[in-house]
Structure formats: C-alpha cells, structure tokens
Amino acid sequence: MGIALIGSLGTGVYRAAVTDHAPAAIPADAVASARDSLGGATATAHHLPGHAADLLDTAREALITALHVATGVSAALVLAPP
C-alpha cells in the first residue's frame, strides 16, 4: 500500500509540474498528453514543430521533480522512528 501511495504522489507532482511549467506557446491538448506520462510527452513532441524541445524539457524536469519528491518521502518514512 505504501508503494502505491508514493507512486500516486509522484504522479501528482509530475502532472502538476508539467501543467505549471509548460510554455504558453504549446497547445493545451499537447500539454494534456504530456501530463499523462513521459512517453506521452515524447509522442506528442514529434508533432510539435518548433516546440518539441520545450515540451520534452518541461516533461523531463517534471519527472525529475517527481522522483525527488517521491524519494524524499520514501527516505523520510524509512528514517522515521517507529
């Protein structure tokens, strides 16, 4: 159960980061696809001439942020006194 909660937290952080940091020039439907997963961002980027790198950079940074948060919460839970 704990792994599922940490995974859900990571997913929420990723989706929020993509939404908050996507450049305004990227269409809303492309941002919505990128919010689903890094694979979705990669697939969508191939159809965005001129903005592919921006979308991929946003998705990568969002993934790194999500992993940092999930790792930090996991570490805190492991180190917490019983």
pLDDT in tens, 7-49: 999 999 999 999 999 999 999 999 999 999 999 999 999 999 8
Say whether pLDDT at 2 is over 90: no
Q: pTM for the full model?
A: 0.90
Say if residues 30 and 58 touch (Cβ distance below 8 Å).
no
Q: How far is CA 18 from CA 4, 31, 75, 82, in A?
A: 21, 7, 24, 36
Taking only the tens place, the pLDDT of each residue in 38-78 is: 999 999 999 998 899 999 999 999 999 999 999 999 999 89
Task: State residue 3's pLDDT score.
Answer: 87
